[in-house]
Structures are given as C-alpha cells and as structure tokens.
C-alpha cells in the first residue's frame, strides 16, 4: 500500500529532514502444507453487488507429520467486520460460506472467534494431497478501497481483492495467520498457480493479476507463480499499453478532462520504474502488469498485488485538481511498481515485519526512482509548470541525502527499531512511520555506510536468493553482512533492528 507522505524532491528542507527521526518471526521457507494450484470460478453480479465464488485448491502435505485439519482463510469476513464498524454504507455486504468439500465429500468446519478462520475437519497425512473446494457468496461493499465498488462517471468500478478464500500458511508445525489489518496488510503467502474464470456483464473491461483474455463476459485468467490474484472491473474503463524491459504495461483508466495526462504520466512512470528497478535489483518475473484507476480513500495512493496495481485517481476525476496531483501520481505508481520486487517477488510476513516490504519499496520510490533523472519526472514538472526538476537539482538531492546519512552515522544519532509487528510498534512510534519512513531510512543509511556498489550488489543477491520465496529480516541481514560486516554497518543495523524480534 502507498501511504501519501511528503515528497523527497519537493524542497531542500524536506530532503534535509529525511533522517530526523508475538515477537519471533519464523524463518523463511515454503510452507510445509501448501496449495500448489487454485481453480476458481467467480461470478460478479453488478445488480446485487455480489460475488459467487467456487474455489478449488490442490493442497499438498510436504511435511513428515499428519495434520487433523486444514485452515482456509475467508478474509472477506475480517474485511467486512471492519467495514461494518466504520462505514454505514457497507452494512448490507456480508459473506457466507455455503459449503466446503474434499473430493466430492462435504466437510464440517469450525471458526472460533475470528470468523475469517475456517478450520476444516480434514486429515491429511504426510505425502498426501487433496482437492479442497470452498463455495462462498460475498457482498461487495460500497467503499473507496481495495475491496469495494464505487459509482464513477455514470458507471461502476469494482476493486476485488482480500475477498477470495485461500489456504493459510502452515509453518513450524502450526497454521500461521493474522487478523485483518485495514491500514496495511496481513498477507503471508507462498506462490501458487491460479486459473480463474471470471464472469461479469459484457460491458465490463477486466484487469487482473497474470494474463487474461475476455470474450462474451467471461474473462479467463492465468496467474502462475503468484502469491494471490486481484481483479478490477469497470464498464467505464479505457485501456492503453506500453512496454518496458519486455514487460507489457496495461493502463486501465477512466475518461475525464485530465485522463490524457493521467494515462501518459502513469505509463511513463511505470516504464521508468521498470527500467531502473530491473537494472538495480533484478528481472521482473512476469510478462505483464496492469495499472487500474479508481478511488482508494483518504491518504491512500495505491495498492499492490502481483501483476496488478491499483492507483488512486480521485484528483484526476475532478474538473479542477491541484497540480501536485501529478507529482503524487509519479510517487504512487513508482511505489506500487516497486512492490513487484518486494512483496510480489520476494515475499515476507507483512503483519509481523511490515518494514520489509514497505520500507524497501519506499527506498525504491524515494531513494532510487526519485534520485534518478527520468522522462516521467521531467514530464511531471512540465505539467506542474515547475522549473525545479533539473539534473543539477537531482544531483544536489543525492548529495544532501548522502551528507545527512553520514551525519547520522558519524554523530551516533539514535533511531527507532523497525522490525516490530503492526499491532505492537515501539513506544512513541506510529506503525506507518515505523514501516514506511523509518523502514526506508534503514536501507538508505545502509546504502551510504556500505557504498552504493556493495549495497545494490547485496540487494540484488537478496532478490535472487529469495526470488518467489519468503524472506525475513534475519535473511536480509545475513545477505547484507555477507557483503559488508564492518563495525560501521553493524552499528547502523543495531540502531534499527531489535534482536529480540529476529527469527531464530
């Protein structure tokens, strides 16, 4: 998710201020029990604002011990529980599990206090596998969000995520799950293969994770080696395309007075981001990515999924909009594209270690994309009638950041720990500041302490080592120390990382 914060290149003062500043996390591994394949049939009823879902997951026990139950997460229950409490307009939306079966046999299940958790009474011995089918009917809430629908331009936009049942992670002998967290994410998923048949009215254009084709209201989606699938659909979408590093970029946008500039700038920013992040970190694993325009609520700029990013465009749908919306667009798109590397490709436990995806992605947005002179930023400056964005000022920003980082290191300034769970940040520190801002400061200071070459060599190694796997803070530190285990670097690590929250 992209939380809107002050931009790095907006002024020298902002740049100079950059550095003012259940405990154990399980070690990285594929889950012992995992769903290797999902076959999904999803029908969207736009009159009732309702999803009818049939999800069949192929579950394999790769461990040495049997399990007595399988944990399916109907995360829509947690989402709607939150929505009902905070938004009156969402109260008609509910989710109901109609049946769960395995190989044709109906199974019972229990939920406990958290109705998102479906503990299915199904024994699975070591080395065995089964096909588990879950039938759910879920209402789509009327909300500006990553799961919800909005009335826009005389039509509708549906953002469909956090609404599809999935198998929870089974690690170290137990099911690993977290409660829904609206201000961030609670995902913790291994990659799988998704085959989806999505039905919507013929007038709707459909964007989705993976690759898709639509014919007569049926969209066939193939999303292999992905952590999840997200879908956006609208009867008002227009679509344009661009390419970067062999990746097809599809921009689904809404017609407005400002849509021409929005579409051009969004595509240019995505192209520049792909060029820079591929060079610095490594190759993107998929053939295409979809960008979708919609409304995501106050202070939320975007939301990430493998192969699909949602971008808030509330300002562009108005007849008049502040010029800084263009700058926000470049920040939002570069950030969510960055998540394709950290979260999409290198996974992590976003609830227990939110800095590991948000902090590293914020670094890509603010400390890599922003600090390179790009065509998209130059076009943005033109739209804003600004002469501030020049190669000279970009160099100046790099210099100031380096000076501030060295001052932080040499003066032994204090920092707050960042490797805490979302529900338990350090005293006096906001969860979002911990994950986004301090989470970015840590690798930004490491970059200076190590030198750019060693730092990006290490980040590339980290990316390749945990490519389509899941990593922890400890895994990240092991790679960093492989390239630089100096006293200086360890002093930086000790300022930001609390050892009691590291995996064993």
Residues recognised as catalytic: 336, 436
The total of other beta-carbon atoms located within 10 Å of residue 140's CB is 24
The SS3 of residue 147 is: coil
Taking the C-alpha atoms of residue 82 and residue 404, their distance in angstroms, rounded to an integer, is: 41
> What are the φ and ψ backbone dihedral angles of 310, each rounded to 5 degrees?
-100, 135
Q: Is the dihedral of CA 266, 269, 271, 274 positive or negative?
A: negative
Q: 410 CB contacts (<8 Å, ≥6 apart)?
A: none
- DSSP 8-state code for residue 24: P
Binding positions for Zn(2+) are 335, 339, 358
Q: List, in order, residues 6 or more apart from 91 with CB less than 8 Å away.
A: 83, 84
- Euclidean distance between CA atoms 190 and 306, whole angstroms: 12
- Using CA atoms, how far apart are residues 56 and 42, in angstroms rounded to an integer? 11
Tally of CA atoms within 13 A in the half-sphere of 152 that contains its CB: 30
| 18 Cα distance to chain centroid | 24
Distances (CA, A) of 401 to 277, 334, 414, 482: 20, 19, 17, 25
DSSP 3-state assignment of 28? coil
The CA angle 244-397-16, to the nearest 5 degrees, is 130
- Burial (CB < 10 A; 0-12, 13-18, 19+), residue 138, is buried
Q: Using an 8 Å Cβ cutoff, are 408 and 445 in contact?
A: yes
Instruction: Mark 16-47 as b/e (b = at least 16 C-beta within 10 Å).
Output: eebbebeeebbebeebbbbbeebbbebbbebe
């Amino acid at each position: 998710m992209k939380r809107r914060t002050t931009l790095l290149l907006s002024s020298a003062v902002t740049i100079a201020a950059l550095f003012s500043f259940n405990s154990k996390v399980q070690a990285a591994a594929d889950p012992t029990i995992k769903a290797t394949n999902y076959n999904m049939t999803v029908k969207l009823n736009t009159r009732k604002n309702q999803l009818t879902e049939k999800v069949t997951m192929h579950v394999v026990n790769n461990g040495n011990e049997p399990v007595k139950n399988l944990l399916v997460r109907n995360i829509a229950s947690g989402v709607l529980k939150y929505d009902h409490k905070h938004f009156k307009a969402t109260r008609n939306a509910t989710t109901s599990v109609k049946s769960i079966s395995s190989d044709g046999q109906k199974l019972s299940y229990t939920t406990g206090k958290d109705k998102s958790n479906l503990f299915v009474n199904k024994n699975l011995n070591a080395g065995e596998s089964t096909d588990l089918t879950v039938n759910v009917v879920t209402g789509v809430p009327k909300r500006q969000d990553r799961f919800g629908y909005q009335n826009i331009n005389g039509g509708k936009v549906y953002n469909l995520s956090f609404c599809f049942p999935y198998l929870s992670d089974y690690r170290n002998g137990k099911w690993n799950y977290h409660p829904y967290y609206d201000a961030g994410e609670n995902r913790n998923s291994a990659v799988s293969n998704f085959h989806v048949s999505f039905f919507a009215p013929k007038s709707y254009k459909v964007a989705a994770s993976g690759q898709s084709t639509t014919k007569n209201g049926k969209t066939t989606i193939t999303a292999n080696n992905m952590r999840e699938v997200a879908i956006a659909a609208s009867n008002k979408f227009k679509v344009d395309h661009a390419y970067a590093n062999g990746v097809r970029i599809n921009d689904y946008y809404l017609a407005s007075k400002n849509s021409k500039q929005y579409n051009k700038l969004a595509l240019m920013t995505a192209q520049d981001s792909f060029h820079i992040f591929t060079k610095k970190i490594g190759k993107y694993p998929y053939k295409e990515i979809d960008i979708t325009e919609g409304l995501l609520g106050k202070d939320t700029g975007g939301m990430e999924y493998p192969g699909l990013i949602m971008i808030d465009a509330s300002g562009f749908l108005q007849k008049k909009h502040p010029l800084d919306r263009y700058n926000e667009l470049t920040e939002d798109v570069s950030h969510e594209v960055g998540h394709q590397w950290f979260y999409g490709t290198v996974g992590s436990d976003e609830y227990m270690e939110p800095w590991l995806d948000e902090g590293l992605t914020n670094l890509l947005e603010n400390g890599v994309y922003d600090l390179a002179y790009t065509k998209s930023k130059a076009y943005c400056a033109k739209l804003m009638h600004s002469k501030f964005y020049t190669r000279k000022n970009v160099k100046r920003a790099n210099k100031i950041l380096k000076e501030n980082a060295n001052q932080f290191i040499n003066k032994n300034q204090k920092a707050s720990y960042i490797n805490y769970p979302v529900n338990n940040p350090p005293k006096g520190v906001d969860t979002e500041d911990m994950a986004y801002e301090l989470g970015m400061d840590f690798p930004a200071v490491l970059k200076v302490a190590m030198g750019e070459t060693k730092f990006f060599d290490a980040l590339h190694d980290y990316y390749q080592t945990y490519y389509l796997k899941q990593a922890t803070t400890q895994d990240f530190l092991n790679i960093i120390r492989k390239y630089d285990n100096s006293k200086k670097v360890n002093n930086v690590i000790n300022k930001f990382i609390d050892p009691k929250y590291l995996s064993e």
